Every structure is written in C-alpha cells, then in structure tokens.
C-alpha cells in the first residue's frame, strides 16, 4: 500500500529569558513598555542588521523572567534577551507498508518525507531595567551585551542546526499500528502528527542549544561585565 500526504504548517517554541529614557510605546500585559527605535539614534549597520534579521523589539518595565542565580550576590539583572523560534515548512510524505515484519512480528511502514521548504524564524525582546539616555544608548555596556545574545540566536548557523535535526525525518520506519486507524488503514492525520512531533523535537533541541550558548556567553563575560575573548566561538558549525 502506497500513500501520500502534502502539508504546510507553522509552530512556535516557548520564549525564554534572559536617568532620561527614550520615548516608549504602549503598555504591555506584563507591565513592560516598548522603547521606540524611531526615537533613538541610528545604530551601527551591524546592529541594524541584527534588529532586522532577529526581529528585535526593545522593552523596559516589568520584571525579568530568567533566573539571576548566576549573578554575584547583591546584583540585579540589568538586561535580558528573550527569544522565540517558530518554523514554517511545506512537505510531501509518501509511505509504503513493508512486506517483512520486524523482530517483534510487527508490520512496519516506511515513510519518506520531502521538505520543499523549511524556514526557522526568530523574534527577540531585549528587556532593559534602566534604559540609557538616547545619546549613549547604543554604546551602553548592557545594550551591547544583550545584542551579543541576539547575535547568537539569529546566527544563520542556528538555522543549520535546526535543518540538520530535521533531516532525521526524511526517512522514518515505524510500526503500522502507530499510523493506522480502524481496519489497519493508514491515516493522513497520524502521519502528519508523526512528522509534526519530529519537527517540534528538532525545534526544542535547537532552542536548548541556544539556551546553553546564552549561558556560556554570560559565564565568559560575567553578564557583560567583561569583554568576550576574541578566540571564543559560541555557535558551532552543525
């Protein structure tokens, strides 16, 4: 029996954290307010590119969401970068019931998935406890450190990590019982659920990898107190 499924879906991963002030946007549900980029001096071309590629929003007010246990005693978190990943993909799956059973006498199904397009999309909220004044905003130590975080999670190699994890879905071999409904007929919805579970796992793995890289940046720089050594590579090639 040969079957086919065409799908196009999105998914979102949970977000995570980490004097005169510029004009701000409206209040948000968490008590924070947006800092309007239009009211700030133009950033450097590199930072402007990060804002575009990482879809960065600057906010202040409210409370940080990450654990500040790694900070020195008596210090409060001055800034935090919260990133969100989501993916968009278009796929085509074909499957075939195998003639031979496995060692447990289960009928197996071979599923081949062809991804016609996959995209990992990132968004960032950069939270600042006490935003610096406009004239020194982009030179502020905390702001520079938070954009080092954005640089990690918007690095093109992060998407490559995700795509590499998705490759495991291109060829799957599963028991017929896991994708069949009544009468032993394979159901499109169950095949899609299998693919979607694998996509979410790939997204979770990528998110966990970035969280580890964030923590390493904070460890090496003591949350931005020290410069990042020139020879440090925070994002590995997949």
| Cβ contacts of 85 within 8 Å, gap of 6 or more | 12, 13, 120, 121, 122, 153, 162, 203, 206, 207, 210
* Plot region of 208 (φ>0 → left; ψ -120 to 50 → alpha; else → beta): alpha
- Containing domain of residue 126, as a range? 2-221
- Is 233 inside any structural domain? no
Say whether pLDDT at 19 is over 90: no
What's this model's pTM, rounded to 2 decimal places?
Answer: 0.83
Inside any domain, residue 165: yes
Tokens encoding 229 = 């050594």
Examine residue 34 and state whether it is found in any structural domain, yes or no.
yes
How far apart CA 149 and CA 171 sit, in angstroms, is 35
Confidence of residue 5 (pLDDT cuts 50, 70, 90): low
Question: What is the predicted pLDDT for the residue at 69?
Answer: 64
Q: How far is CA 162 from CA 24, 32, 34, 118, 159, in A?
A: 35, 31, 30, 10, 5
- At 237, the pLDDT band (50, 70, 90 cuts) reads confident
The DSSP call for residue 132 is: P
* 25: confidence class by pLDDT, cuts 50, 70, 90: very low
Residue 227 lies in a domain: no
- The answer to the question of residue 201 being in a domain is yes
Which tokens is 104 given? 């447990």
Distance CA 27, CA 24 (A): 9
Q: pLDDT value at position 101?
A: 73
**Residue 55: closest CA among 14, 86, 17:** 86
Backbone region of residue 10 per phi and psi (left: phi > 0; alpha: psi in -120 to 50; beta: other values): beta
- Residue 214's Cβ-side half-sphere holds a number of Cα atoms within 13 Å equal to 24
pLDDT, position 130: 93
Place of tokens 């790939």: 202
Q: What's the mean pLDDT in 15-25? A: 37
The pLDDT assigned to 13 comes to 47
Structure tokens at 96: 């075939």
Q: How far apart are CA 145 and CA 126, in angstroms?
A: 10
Say yes or no to pLDDT of 127 above 60: yes
Please give the Cα distance from 146 to 66 (Å, whole number). 13
Q: What is the mean pLDDT of residues 55-68?
A: 86
By mean pLDDT, which of 15-19, 49-53, 119-123, 168-172 is the weakest? 15-19
Quote the percentage of the chain above a pLDDT of 70.
Answer: 83
Q: For the chain, how many structural domains are there in total? A: 1
pLDDT score of 17? 43
- Find the mean pLDDT for residues 50-72: 83
| Token pair belonging to 89 | 């993909």
* pLDDT band of 103, cuts 50, 70, 90: low
User: Which SS3 state, helix, strand or coil, does residue 66 take?
Assistant: coil
151: pLDDT strictly greater than 70: yes
Spatial distance between the Cα atoms of 116 and 137, rounded to a whole number of angstroms: 43
- Asked, for residue 18, whether it belongs to a domain, the answer is yes
Asked if residue 231 is part of any domain, the answer here is no
Least confident of 52-56, 130-134, 224-228: 224-228
Please, is 125 exposed, middle or buried when counting C-beta atoms within 10 Å of its C-beta (0-12, 13-18, 19+)? buried
Least confident of 73-87, 112-126, 162-176: 73-87
Residue 235 belongs to some domain of the structure:
no
């Amino acid at each position: 029996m040969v079957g086919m499924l065409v799908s196009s879906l999105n998914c979102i991963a949970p977000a995570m954290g980490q004097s005169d002030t510029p004009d701000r946007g409206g209040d948000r549900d968490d008590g924070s307010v947006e800092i309007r980029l239009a009211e700030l001096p133009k950033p450097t071309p590199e930072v402007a590119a990060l804002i575009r590629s990482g879809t960065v929003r600057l906010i202040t007010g409210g409370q940080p969401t990450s654990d500040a246990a790694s900070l020195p005693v008596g210090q409060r978190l001055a800034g935090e970068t919260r990133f969100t990943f989501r993916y968009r993909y278009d796929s085509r799956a074909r499957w075939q019931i195998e003639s031979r059973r496995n060692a447990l006498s289960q009928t197996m199904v071979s599923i081949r998935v062809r991804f016609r397009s996959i995209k990992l999309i990132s968004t960032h909220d950069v939270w600042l406890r006490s935003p610096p004044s406009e004239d020194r905003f982009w030179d502020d130590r905390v702001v520079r450190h938070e954009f080092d975080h954005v640089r990690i999670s918007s690095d093109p190699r992060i998407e490559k990590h995700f795509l590499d994890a998705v490759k495991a879905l291109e060829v799957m071999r599963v028991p017929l019982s896991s994708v069949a409904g009544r009468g032993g007929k394979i159901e499109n919805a169950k095949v899609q659920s299998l693919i979607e579970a694998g996509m979410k796992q790939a997204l979770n793995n990528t998110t966990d990898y970035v969280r580890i890289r964030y923590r390493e940046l904070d460890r090496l720089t003591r949350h931005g107190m020290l410069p990042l050594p020139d020879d440090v590579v925070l994002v590995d090639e997949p």
